[in-house]
Structure 1
Amino acid sequence: MALERAQLMLDWLVASGGYVHPSAELRDDADAGLSLFATAPIPADERLVSCPFSVAITSSLASASVSAATGVAESELVWPEGEKKGQKWNERMLASAYIGLHWVWDEREKEGKTRPASLVHGPYVAALPTTEELTTPLYFNPTERAMLAGTNLAGAVADREREWGAEADVVRAVLKEDGLTWDRYLAVATYLSSRAFPSRLLRLPDEETDDDGVSPVLLPGVDMLNHARGQPILWLSSRVPSKDGDISAISLRTAAAHEKDAELFNNYGAKPNEELLLGYGFVLPSNPDDTVVLRLGGAPPAAAARLQAKGLDATERFAVGRDGVLPQGLLQVMRTMSGEEEHECDDDEDEHAHHEAEEKGLNLELDVLGMLGEMLEDKLETLGREVETKGARPRVVAMVEEYRQGQADILTSALDKLGERIDRIESLMSEGLECPCGC
């Protein structure tokens, strides 16, 4: 049934001016799920799929269509109260309202009512994955959610649930549509996090626009391809031929040849497993792009003032990669938060003062590295605790275990690097820090 709906969507895409390579076929694969495969060899530099700009789901289309379908003016699609009162709906709220109204009117059509003409993406909406197929953490059951304890994702998932829940309440209240439920909002928000492309793709190379290019847009057909790290693929915005003449479209083109029966992949770019799991619902084994994100949190007023004077922020997030190298920015923030001033000597001829400043600087560095080491060890210990998996789906268990192991591997590597750095400083202090003045 899912395969049939997806094929109907591609037929609709082609009828709307889109394109699917004649040797590309939809298959429901046991490992890959629903995706495109080559039915014959496909050479390099071939157009695989194209989505006309006019078929994309953009914020402007969603806003105008929701207004036309509900009778609520676009100027009224704002937060009605609270600290965000008067703020325009974000892209997620607009897309969720637009797609959600398709489901609402699917039910009303069964009662003999006529669907509003502005809801034009029926075949695409019908082909979207069911909620049973979604595996982002907001679809985890309580046991699966508990498996994230001690990771950065645990807090991120809770924050996202609160944020999206508040947005869903506003959309439902402003449009006065009880059918725009939390479950439906969650589904569309998940589609947007896992399938959206940046709006800059809906711009020809020589075209100027006020759009910043980062707004999420949905591209029917183009979003059928799964992600493969390092897969050579070209995203090309250009004029392409169609049955009605040349049109503006975004296309995926091959950069390498594909053999018969090979899956046709897209490439989302380098992403750590934390981002992949939260936004897409999958992880990559031993992901070389994996990171652990470290954040120190708030600083006392005096420390905050010192940080501000140096243009630093205690709440900044710092990513540590597989190599375990500690970000210099993190160490700089920690040095400043420690309360110690820069150990410098203005008198170039005062050897004793220079020696004293150097010694204090190295002691400060040891203190900072010691504090950071304790923080990393605490995180590693938390990750090493056993988690209950009874009642969790095997696929989710495998994903979370891969994510947790990747975090632990990075922390271990960072601790090794930190230990080497401490050893070098201690060796330097014990062997080469005699004061030139002989004191």
Structure 2
Amino acid sequence: MTDNLHHTLHTWATSHGASLNISVEVRQDDHSGAGFRVKAGAEIHPGDHIVSCPTSLTLSYLNALPNPPPSFRKDPSSPPFPEEFLASAPPHVVGRFFLIQQYLLGQDSFWWPYIRSLPQPDRPSSLPLPPFWDEDDLELLRGTNLEVSVREIKATLDREFRDSKKALEGWGQRSEYTPRLYNWAYAIFTSRSFMPSLVIPRCDELKLPDGVRSWNDFSILMPLFDVGNHSITAKTSWGTVEGKGCNLVTRDGHSGGQEIFNNYGMKTNAQLLLAYGFVIPAREELHNDYIHIRKRVPPGSDGSDVDGSQKPPEYLFSLRPMTHPSSVLGRALQSESIAPEDVFPAFRLVQDAMILDIAEQVLQNNPALGPSSSSTTGESGLLRRILTIDLPPESSQLVNIIIATIQQKALQELEKLDESEVEVDEGQEADLEPCQRVALYYRRRCREVLEGVMESIEAAVEDERYVALMRGVTLER
């Protein structure tokens, strides 16, 4: 986005009810692209409002409806979509087609100043997400858990576009909507949109459109508001004000020249790469490297729908102990707050919800392996005792089953990486494309995480608590 496009976007958005703090400007950075920065000589204080976007400026599925909810724009320049399409296509698909329509309208679209500021569909860089990489580049993700996700997304996009074109049969503008444009619209919504329930004032009091189950069945684009880049440690909040839309409020102080980040929420590097095309490199004070482990369950059981619309639970393996200060996301997910050194080594790099899940499955079939109910208070008490190996001798088999299950999962993932190993000489890395470098980083971190889990299990057998448990000896606590 050039400075001219920044200015045009800012002028257009603020003339239609948006606002940008007078001490903040949109600036381009070679590393992170456009973002919010504090003007030279200015300061931003905790609690300051950075940017706001009224609902009348947003772009989504709602704008494609014949009668959008109050305060959402109905643009007279937008040709209506056929009723059959609106009735049959999922809301998120309609939203993407509406974005395509506004792009095709060009300067006749109300949202044109915003759309011009977005990555354009005729440029290769407009589709930086893994589902749109060349096959050669995708080879670098083979064997990682992203390989399956990319394949699922590509298949879903193909099906959605095919079904939508069928529903648009006979509509005059049908031929202008292409797979390339649909993929572009997916990339824009995936990387820039917001959940309605978080940004629409008094959302729960609005009537849902017919056929929509939840306000989160689709997402919303928010011009100017979406310029902020992500930091997992940024202290921000989104405040909704009736009649004024949503405000981004910072809880941090900033001085002149500093970037003001938004916070997209707790997302692992796998999720960031899939949705935004980037990862957060590990450093001493922060890492974001986790492996997603999907639970294998029969269709229709334990959170998995027969039609595949709802995925089974996922758990995480971590590069560093889940309760380590640098494991910001890991600590947020842990049910129990226990110092890393107090957690049994084999469990330190594993999300505690996974450990509890395994234990509960074992105890469901063999309750005698668990501690007595009189010495344990609920799930929390059971989990804490397992994590610290504060267990009676009869629970030794339970611990070994949990360890073996974790070890098997890690080995399975390592074998996938080994079967598709990619060799890149250090001298060649400087010549790699950006997507290749980020994929290579992600792949290497996957291996490092999994090898760390295996090493932690090997170290665990020498832990005095484990040795005592296997010998049937009770240690003093």
Equivalent position of 2:457 in the other structure: 418
TM-aligned CA distance change 1:189 to 1:227, over 3 Å: same
Equivalents in 1 of 2:39, 2:130: separation in Å? 35
Equivalent position of 2:55 in the other structure: 53
Q: Which amino acid aligns with 1:132?
A: P
Equivalent position of 2:180 in the other structure: 183
Equivalent position of 2:19 in the other structure: 19
Tell me, yes or no, if the aligned pair for 1:153 and 1:274 is still in contact at 8 Å.
yes
Q: Which amino acid aligns with 2:422?
A: V
Equivalents in 1 of 2:102, 2:202: separation in Å? 33
Which segments of 5 or more consecutive residues in structure 2 lack a partner in the other structure? 67-73, 209-213, 305-309, 322-347, 373-391
Equivalents in 2 of 1:121, 1:403: separation in Å? 36
Q: Which amino acid aligns with 1:427?
A: V
Q: Which amino acid aligns with 1:431?
A: R
Equivalents in 1 of 2:367, 2:254: separation in Å? 60
TM-aligned CA distance change 1:63 to 1:206, over 3 Å: closer
Partner of 2:274, secondary structure, is helix
TM-aligned CA deviation for residue 420 of structure 1? 4.5
Partner of 1:165, secondary structure, is helix
Q: TM-score, with normalisation over the residues of structure 2?
A: 0.70
Query: 287-296 or 185-194, which moves further after superposition?
Result: 287-296
TM-aligned CA deviation for residue 320 of structure 1? 2.6
Equivalents in 1 of 2:298, 2:362: separation in Å? 10
Equivalent position of 1:387 in the other structure: 422
Q: Does 1:90 align with 2:84?
A: no
TM-aligned CA distance change 1:103 to 1:315, over 3 Å: closer
Equivalents in 2 of 1:24, 1:151: separation in Å? 40
TM-aligned CA distance change 1:333 to 1:207, over 3 Å: closer
TM-aligned CA deviation for residue 50 of structure 1? 1.4
Equivalent position of 1:354 in the other structure: none
1:231-264 deviation line (CA, Å, top 9, x unaligned): 222322225xxxxxxx412122333332222222
Tell me, yes or no, if the aligned pair for 1:37 and 1:262 is still in contact at 8 Å.
yes
Q: Which amino acid aligns with 1:167?
A: E
Q: Which amino acid aligns with 1:225?
A: G
TM-aligned CA deviation for residue 283 of structure 1? 0.4
Equivalent position of 2:266 in the other structure: 270
Equivalent position of 1:342 in the other structure: 366
TM-aligned CA distance change 1:418 to 1:62, over 3 Å: farther
Equivalent position of 2:86 in the other structure: 77
TM-aligned CA deviation for residue 291 of structure 1? 2.1
Equivalents in 2 of 1:292, 1:38: separation in Å? 36
TM-aligned CA distance change 1:96 to 1:66, over 3 Å: farther
Equivalents in 1 of 2:311, 2:111: separation in Å? 45
Q: Does 1:253 align with 2:253?
A: no
Tell me, yes or no, if the aligned pair for 1:199 and 1:217 is still in contact at 8 Å.
yes
Q: Does 1:155 align with 2:187?
A: no
Query: 415-424 or 171-180, which moves further after superposition?
Result: 415-424
Tell me, yes or no, if the aligned pair for 1:235 and 1:253 is still in contact at 8 Å.
yes
Equivalents in 2 of 1:35, 1:298: separation in Å? 42
Equivalents in 2 of 1:275, 1:29: separation in Å? 23
Partner of 1:344, secondary structure, is helix
Which residues in structure 2 correspond to 1:320-399 (within 5 Å)? 320-321=317-318, 322-323=320-321, 324-327=348-351, 330-331=354-355, 341-344=365-368, 362-363=396-397, 365-383=399-417, 386-387=421-422, 393-399=432-438
TM-aligned CA distance change 1:71 to 1:378, over 3 Å: closer
Which residues in structure 2 correspond to 1:199-278 (within 5 Å)? 199-204=196-201, 208-209=205-206, 212-214=214-216, 215-238=218-241, 247-278=243-274
Tell me, yes or no, if the aligned pair for 2:414 and 2:447 is still in contact at 8 Å.
yes
TM-aligned CA distance change 1:206 to 1:126, over 3 Å: closer
Query: 400-409 or 223-232, which moves further after superposition?
Result: 400-409
Equivalents in 1 of 2:37, 2:359: separation in Å? 54
Equivalents in 2 of 1:206, 1:57: separation in Å? 16
Q: TM-score, with normalisation over the residues of structure 1?
A: 0.76
1:161-201 deviation line (CA, Å, top 9, x unaligned): 11011112223332341111111111111111111112124
In our comparison, the structure showing a higher alpha carbon Rg is: 1
Tell me, yes or no, if the aligned pair for 1:3 and 1:34 is still in contact at 8 Å.
no
Q: Which amino acid aligns with 2:193?
A: A
TM-aligned CA distance change 1:372 to 1:257, over 3 Å: closer
Equivalents in 1 of 2:356, 2:222: separation in Å? 43
Tell me, yes or no, if the aligned pair for 1:63 and 1:94 is still in contact at 8 Å.
no
Q: Which amino acid aligns with 2:91?
A: N
TM-aligned CA deviation for residue 66 of structure 1? 9.5
Identity among equivalent positions (%) equals 20
Partner of 2:25, secondary structure, is strand
Q: Which amino acid aligns with 1:387?
A: V
Tell me, yes or no, if the aligned pair for 2:25 and 2:39 is still in contact at 8 Å.
yes
Q: Which amino acid aligns with 2:144?
A: T
Equivalents in 2 of 1:89, 1:300: separation in Å? 23
Partner of 2:368, secondary structure, is coil
TM-aligned CA deviation for residue 314 of structure 1? 11
Equivalents in 2 of 1:199, 1:58: separation in Å? 10
Equivalents in 2 of 1:205, 1:359: separation in Å? 55
Partner of 1:293, secondary structure, is strand
Partner of 1:250, secondary structure, is strand
Equivalent position of 2:290 in the other structure: 291
Which segments of 5 or more consecutive residues in structure 1 lack a partner in the other structure? 80-87, 110-114, 240-246, 308-312, 349-357, 435-439
Equivalents in 1 of 2:460, 2:77: separation in Å? 63
Equivalent position of 2:332 in the other structure: none
1:19-44 deviation line (CA, Å, top 9, x unaligned): 12233333322122122322231331
TM-aligned CA deviation for residue 99 of structure 1? 1.1
When the two chains are superposed, the root-mean-square deviation of aligned CA atoms in Å is 3.7
TM-aligned CA distance change 1:185 to 1:338, over 3 Å: same
Size of the aligned set, in residue pairs, is 389
Q: Which amino acid aligns with 2:105?
A: W
Partner of 1:379, secondary structure, is helix
Tell me, yes or no, if the aligned pair for 2:61 and 2:98 is still in contact at 8 Å.
no
Q: 1:128 pairs with 103, 113, 118, which one?
A: 118
Tell me, yes or no, if the aligned pair for 1:46 and 1:254 is still in contact at 8 Å.
yes
1:265-299 deviation line (CA, Å, top 9, x unaligned): 21112210000000011100115343211124245
TM-aligned CA deviation for residue 300 of structure 1? 11
Tell me, yes or no, if the aligned pair for 2:53 and 2:247 is still in contact at 8 Å.
yes
Tell me, yes or no, if the aligned pair for 1:36 and 1:264 is still in contact at 8 Å.
yes
TM-aligned CA distance change 1:431 to 1:339, over 3 Å: closer
Query: 330-339 or 49-58, which moves further after superposition?
Result: 330-339
1:365-393 deviation line (CA, Å, top 9, x unaligned): 43553353133134235446642568984
Query: 336-345 or 402-411, which moves further after superposition?
Result: 336-345
Equivalents in 1 of 2:199, 2:266: separation in Å? 22
